[in-house]
Amino acid sequence: MSVQNLLVELFVEELPPKALRKLGESFAGVLVDQLKAQGLASSESKVTTFASPRRLAAHVTAVAPQGADKSVSQKLMPVSVGLDASGQPTPALLKKLQALGADASAVPQLKRQMDGKAEALFYDSTAKGATLVEGLQKALNDSLARLPIPKVMTYQLADGWTDVKFVRPAHALVALHGKDVVPIQALGLSAGRITGGHRFEAVSATVSIPDADSYAATLAEQGGVIAGFAERRADIERQLRDAAAKVGGGARPIEDDALLDEVTALVERPNVLTCQFESEFLEVPQECLILTMKANQKYFPLLDAQGKLTNRFLVVSNIRPQDPGAVIGGNERVVRPRLADAKFFFDQDRKKSLESRVAGLDKVVYHNKLGTQGERMERVRAIAKVIGAQMGSDALAREADMAARLAKADLLTDMVGEFPELQGIMGGYYARHDGLGDAVAAAIEDHYRPRFAGDALPRNDAGLVVALADKLETLAGLFAIGQLPTGDKDPFALRRHALGVVRMLMEKDLPLELGALVTQALGLFPQAKPETAEQLTEFIYERLAGLLREQGYSSQEVEAVLALRPQRLGDVAKRLAAVRAFAALPEAPALAAANKRIGNILKKADKADPHVNEALLKEDAEKALHAATQQIAPKARAQFESGDYTASLQTLAVLRGPVDAFFDGVMVNAEETDLRLNRLGLLATLHQAMNRVADLSRLAQ
């Protein structure tokens, strides 16, 4: 056999749709990596992944029938153990050589090399390259063992005795090297060239794959299956667009990558059909209808050119009958009760006001250590009251307080009980129905924002106040009782909450100080320990640092700014811009290094007040540095206080010459105490002036 392309397929029962994409990528990825590790595939080999509801497969180019032989150097034992005083092999060495298929004749060829502090004996040999059968068997075993399987099931083989554990029962294994079957085994199956096609639309019950390269084409022609996940997904997208275009009026299917992936994992031969429902259901908020169609039925609702829901929706069928009427009618019948339920919930919920539901929050447990949703609501109101007072008018404070009081009331509605994802959204609809006004309704709807990375922030100030208060209450409460995230586990989404706080403070440039917010929120929890405030503050700054690095700032720039723990997060972007501009100046490296040196000197000093007695200045260099500092520092400070951080740092760049001259000609740690303290005071004054915008020492290489 020569170098040829390889095809491996495992044919199974329907795989978990939400996991299919990752299963396919893992199956192919591990398989090709193992083949390369054994020298059966090279760096030039290309892998194509296939994943459909009932198969995982990989096509690998340029696979050799046998790997190249390898030279192996194996450590045997220390020389003192392997050879006696006269240099003859000991029984221990001979036994070791025998185990390796050698004898005493190999002793003269053994190499002596230092291994740590002792000299050891090494045996050089040639390991024969793995055959394709051996290598592929190992690669397949590893690939199956490392699949990210959500849940394993146990089933019996046809013999009725043997149990197998896998994600779903497997029915066929295909392994072809070119046209030849590779005789490997897995999950009680022996490899061949026979697989299964579409359950209903294959030409025959079984499909024979003639060679590795004709796999996808043969399945498409005879099996009625588009085997590639990406190809099937692209075909669905194209059909969705075409079907929407036929509806007209600028109609477009809702965009949802997760839904598209899931539907791609549910069908092998996609066929998009257009269905409709009664227009009367459009009286229900479109979020409810969209959610029930997507979550329960895997349908694609159609929106009009203005983004409003229409009474048309698209179904991705797995069959292509000549007359699709029965399929369309069946899906329309199925969706109607779902929409009727949503309309019933909406109508029933509006019979009671949000205000009338507030008392019921006292009966809903939020957390066994943090009380009820009613108690939580009062804490959110308390935090919102403080934030609202700092942000503006009495009208804002009243709107925020009302929104905070009613924000959780929709948890007791039938609609949110059925669709928890709609909490907040339904509260906004019900608030408008209750006549509470758009400002309060929008604040209630938005108080969970941002829900995820990239999500929009609340639309109005009342929404910002309540959203901040809600997230701070969550963070403070859970930190107070020690429920901190660990590793990749964050069951209460505290990282997301902290990132939401950061984004609102930064992007809206709110006149609020982070430390004060944390202190105020933790003050509502008697369980909080003295160190909790520092823990929570540090946690929020870590999220801020990560966000800034994602935005393209370097670690040095981020560390320089955040080292000072700026309290107004709206200033952070301006500080970073100033640091970046400063770092580009020719004086920057020397000043950063000097700043680092000054910082280290001051840390070791017993006392370093930023105060200078001019009468104690002796050396010309220290006099010049003091004069320059007296001239430059006030100007830089004024620019800093006016918010012109870039100008402030660039003004300080003038100090490079005097600073260099000072360190070249002045002994800071003079023997005379007064002289030493005065020089330390000069450095402390300089250090204070240089580090208002950022800790410039963090820029030092």
Smallest Cα–Cα separation from 532: which of 485, 469, 479? 479
Cα separation, 583 vs 591, whole angstroms? 10
Asked whether the beta carbons of 494 and 473 are under 8 A apart, the reply is no
Smallest Cα–Cα separation from 166: which of 154, 174, 156? 154
165-221 pLDDT tens trace: 999 999 999 999 999 999 999 999 999 999 999 999 999 889 999 999 999 999 999
Across the chain, how many H-helices and E-strands are there? 26, 20
Q: Is the C-alpha dihedral spanning 462, 468, 474, 480 positive or negative? A: negative
Q: Name the least confident of 180-184, 286-290, 342-346, 582-586.
A: 582-586
115-161 pLDDT tens trace: 878 888 888 776 677 889 999 999 999 999 999 987 889 988 877 78
Evaluate whether the domain defined by 573-699 bears CATH number 3.50.7.10.
no
- Distances from the Cα of 433 to the Cαs of 347, 353, 425, 426, 436, in angstroms? 11, 8, 13, 11, 8
127 strand-pairing partners: 70
- Distances from the Cα of 515 to the Cαs of 19, 29, 502, 534, 536, in angstroms? 42, 47, 12, 9, 10
Domain residue extents for the chain: 4-67+131-223, 72-127, 229-349, 383-552, 573-699
In single-letter form, the type of residue at position 410 comes to D
Model confidence at 607, in pLDDT bands (50, 70, 90)?
A: low
φ, ψ (nearest 5 deg) of residue 313: -150, 160
Cα separation, 358 vs 349, whole angstroms? 14
33-60 pLDDT tens trace: 999 989 899 889 999 999 999 999 999 9
DSSP state of 631: H
- The pLDDT of 66-80, averaged and rounded, is 78
- The residue length of the chain stands at 701
Cα separation, 139 vs 130, whole angstroms? 11
- Distances from the Cα of 155 to the Cαs of 22, 53, 163, 168, 188, in angstroms? 23, 19, 6, 8, 11
Return the structure tokens found at 43. 């760096």
652-672 pLDDT tens trace: 888 888 988 988 888 888 888
Q: What is the pTM of this model?
A: 0.80
Model confidence at 66, in pLDDT bands (50, 70, 90)?
A: confident
Q: Name the least confident of 91-95, 302-306, 609-613.
A: 609-613
526-583 pLDDT tens trace: 999 999 999 999 999 999 999 999 999 999 999 999 999 999 999 999 999 999 998 9
Q: How many CB atoms neighbour CB 224 within 10 A?
A: 20
385-396 pLDDT tens trace: 999 988 877 888
Model confidence at 453, in pLDDT bands (50, 70, 90)?
A: confident
- The pLDDT of 627-634, averaged and rounded, is 91
Per the rule left: phi > 0, alpha: psi between -120 and 50, beta: everything else, 525 is beta
Q: Which residues contact 138 (CB under 8 A, 6 or more apart)?
A: 34, 38, 130
**How high does pLDDT run on average in the chain?**
92
Q: How many CB atoms neighbour CB 456 within 10 A?
A: 9
Cα separation, 387 vs 384, whole angstroms? 5
Q: What is the per-residue DSSP string for 420-481?
A: GGGTTHHHHHHHHHTT--HHHHHHHHHTT---STTPPPPSSHHHHHHHHHHHHHHHHHHHHT
Give the pLDDT of residue 32. 95
Tell me how many degrees the CA angle 227-294-423 measures, rounded to the nearest 5: 140
Asked whether the beta carbons of 610 and 688 are under 8 A apart, the reply is yes
Q: What is the per-residue DSSP string for 209-267?
A: --SGGGHHHHIIIII-----HHHHHHHHHHHHHHHHHHH-TT-EEPP-HHHHHHHHTT-
pLDDT over threshold 80, residue 71: no
Return the structure tokens found at 188. 């009680």
Cα separation, 663 vs 659, whole angstroms? 6
Give the pLDDT of residue 312. 96
Query: Token match 């009727």: residue?
Result: 340
pLDDT over threshold 80, residue 606: no
Query: Token match 């929050």: residue?
Result: 361
Q: What is the CA radius of gyration of the chain?
A: 36
For 391, the enclosing helix (H) or strand (E) is: helix 373-391
In single-letter form, the type of residue at position 138 comes to K
Q: What is the per-residue DSSP string for 544-610?
A: HHHHHHHTT--HHHHHHHHTT--S-GGGHHHHHHHHHHHHTSTTHHHHHHHHHHHHHHHHH-S---S
In the chain, % helix, strand, coil (3-state, to 5) comes to 55, 15, 30
Asked whether the beta carbons of 501 and 471 are under 8 A apart, the reply is yes
Give the pLDDT of residue 456. 95
Cα separation, 538 vs 565, whole angstroms? 9
pLDDT over threshold 90, residue 29: yes
3-class DSSP state for residue 165? strand
Asked whether the beta carbons of 449 and 398 are under 8 A apart, the reply is no
Cα separation, 645 vs 631, whole angstroms? 18
Model confidence at 701, in pLDDT bands (50, 70, 90)?
A: low
3-class DSSP state for residue 189? strand
pLDDT over threshold 70, residue 70: yes
Q: Name the least confident of 5-14, 109-118, 480-489.
A: 109-118
Residue 97 vs residue 461, higher pLDDT: 461
DSSP state of 616: G
